[in-house]
Amino acid sequence: MDTSGDRNLGLLVQCRFDNGDLAMFTGHGTVEWEGVTYLGAAGQMLRIGEAQETSGGEMPGLTLTLSGLDPEVVALAELEEFQRRRVTLRLALFGPEGQIEAADVLWDGLADTLDSDDGPEAATATLACEERAMDLGRKRPFYYLPEDQQRRFPGDRFFDLVQAIQNREDTWGR
C-alpha cells in the first residue's frame, strides 16, 4: 500500500458472532469496507495486543481490549457465544477524505477466551484469540462407523455395511 500524501493507516477489527458482527476501527465516526460498517473506537477504547510467535513454535495469538464500557454491555458480552468465532484484523489505508482506499488482512483467527473487569467507573473486556492454523492441529475423533456418519449427515447409510465386511476374507482372481 502506498501511504504517500495525505493518507493514513488504521486497523479494522471484525468479530463474527452468532447474533451479528462487531466491527470497529482505530478512528472516529464510521467507515464502510466490503459491505461492513466499522464503528470508530479511537484512543484507549480499543487496544490490540501484539501477535508474537512463542519459542515453542506455536502460532501467535492476539488480544483485543475494549475499555470504557458500560458494565451492562460487558454482562451481555459474557452471555454471547464467542468461542471458536472468527476474528479478522485488517490494515487499512485511509484517503484524504477519511474513506478506506485499500485494506489487507493482517491477522485472521478464532476467539478463545473473554476476560472482563467490572471497574467502578468503566468496565473492560479482553478477547483472547488464536491463529486459525492452530485449528489444523486439533484432533477430531471420527471413525468410519454408521453412528458417526449419522451425526454428520442424518439419513446417510454409506457406512452401514462397513462392519459386516471389515473382517471378511475375499479371494480375488483365481
pLDDT one-digit tens code per residue, 49-79: 876 555 555 667 889 888 887 777 777 778 8
CA 106 to chain CA mean position, Å: 12
CA 5 to chain centre: 33
Candidates 138, 139, 136, 132; CA nearest to 61 is 132
Pairing of strands 20-25, 36-40: parallel
Torsion angle, CA of 109/11/31/70, rounded to 10 degrees?
A: 80
Grid cell listed for 101: 482506499
pTM: predicted TM-score of the whole model, two decimal places: 0.69
- At residue 103, the pLDDT reads 95
For the segment 22-34, what is each residue's pLDDT rounded down to a tens digit? 899 988 899 999 9
In a structure prediction context, what are the per-residue pLDDT tens digits for the chain, which is 174 residues long?
555 667 899 999 999 988 888 899 988 899 999 999 999 887 668 888 876 555 555 667 889 888 887 777 777 778 888 888 999 999 999 999 889 999 999 989 999 888 888 777 778 888 899 887 776 777 777 777 888 888 889 999 888 887 778 778 888 886
Q: Regarding beta strands 30-33 and 100-118, do their DSSP bridges make them parallel or antiparallel, or are they unpaired? A: unpaired
For residue 67, what pLDDT is reported?
Answer: 86
**Spatial CA neighbour of 88 closest among 103, 107, 102, 104:** 107
